[in-house]
């Protein structure tokens, strides 16, 4: 049972709302973030970029650790750095001078707060996996998104920061980092949802403790990728649950790096 504690008009821009901590919601604005305290029924602005108060760099992109306590944000449509902020005040604590040419499609933080995924916008559209627990931060992996990946809907598997997923309209790419040596090896498993209708596309996803990945579609269908983490190097079939149709196996690419 879920009990509603209250209602609020909260979104300044179209985009996701995340939990900054157990009592605080967060969404991106035209210049930074808005934090809303469900405990105090108050909200405040965390300004981003050089413009600070009153300035605008256009919409921002935000990512949060699933258990709360850490936020990462940066401009969505213009050059700029990625800012890291920690609870309880979420004042900027660290800046990653990434300077993507046209901003950031998405940002994702691992549950343990050690890993950050940065997905940059066009023209090159790349994914960077970074260890932000080191000083300076360490680049672990880099990959071009290509035309089929939108860069939206990215997340780490909650059980380990070494498994990551990103999506396209009709495709998922699962990356697994193997850190047995000083240079991580990256294994890639690609899942194409070939049974989707022509106008159907991915709208959301969720991980389970059983290492499964569930994907929802615009037509109300639900897909399952079994064994998606941490053994994504083992090709596992995924099923369209509503119609019970077995899909093709993920294509496992050769290790990179």
Q: Domain 1-146 is classified in which CATH homologous superfamily? A: YVTN repeat-like/Quinoprotein amine dehydrogenase (2.130.10.10)
Question: Is 98 buried (19+), middle (13-18) or exposed (0-12) by CB count in 10 A?
Answer: middle
Tokens in use for 170?
Answer: 């009709």
Domain map (residue ranges) of the chain = 1-146, 147-257
CA angle at residue 118 from 148 to 199, to 5 degrees?
25
Q: Tell me what pLDDT residue 242 has.
A: 35
Quick one: tokens of 240? 């369209």
Q: What is the pLDDT along the chain (257 residues), one digit of tens a residue?
A: 444 444 444 444 456 788 899 889 998 877 778 899 988 889 888 776 555 555 566 788 899 998 889 999 988 888 888 999 998 888 888 889 877 788 898 999 999 999 999 999 888 888 999 999 998 999 999 988 877 777 778 899 988 899 999 888 888 888 888 877 777 888 888 888 888 899 999 988 888 888 888 999 999 999 888 877 754 333 333 333 333 333 434 443 433 44
What pTM does this model have? 0.80
Rounded distance, CA 123 to CA 78, Å?
Answer: 12
- For 32-170, strand residue ranges (E) read 32-37, 42-47, 60-64, 70-75, 82-86, 92-96, 104-109, 115-120, 126-131, 138-144, 149-156, 163-168
Note the pLDDT of residue 14.
Answer: 55
């Amino acid at each position: 049972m879920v009990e509603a504690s209250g209602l609020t008009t909260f979104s300044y821009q179209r985009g996701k709302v995340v939990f900054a901590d157990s009592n605080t919601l967060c969404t991106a604005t035209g210049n930074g973030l808005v934090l809303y305290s469900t405990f105090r029924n108050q909200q405040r602005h965390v300004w981003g970029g050089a413009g600070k108060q009153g300035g605008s760099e256009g919409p921002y992109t935000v990512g949060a650790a699933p258990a709360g306590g850490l936020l990462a944000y940066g401009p969505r449509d213009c050059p700029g750095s990625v800012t890291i902020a920690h609870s309880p005040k979420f004042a900027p604590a660290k800046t990653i001078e990434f300077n993507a040419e046209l901003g950031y499609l998405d940002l994702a933080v691992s549950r343990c707060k050690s890993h950050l995924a940065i997905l940059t916008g066009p023209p090159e559209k790349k994914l960077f996996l970074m260890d932000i627990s080191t000083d300076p931060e360490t680049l672990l992996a880099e990959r071009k998104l290509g035309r089929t990946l939108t860069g939206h809907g990215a997340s780490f598997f909650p059980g380990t920061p070494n498994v990551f997923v990103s999506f396209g309209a009709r495709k998922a790419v699962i990356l697994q980092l193997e850190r047995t040596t000083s240079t991580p090896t990256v294994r890639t498993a690609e899942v194409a949802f070939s049974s989707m209708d022509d106008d159907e596309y991915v709208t959301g996803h969720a991980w389970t403790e059983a290492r499964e990945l569930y994907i929802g579609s615009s037509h109300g269908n639900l897909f399952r990728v079994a064994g998606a983490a941490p053994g994504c190097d083992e090709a596992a079939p995924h099923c369209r649950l509503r119609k019970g149709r077995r899909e093709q196996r993920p294509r496992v690419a050769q290790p990179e790096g």
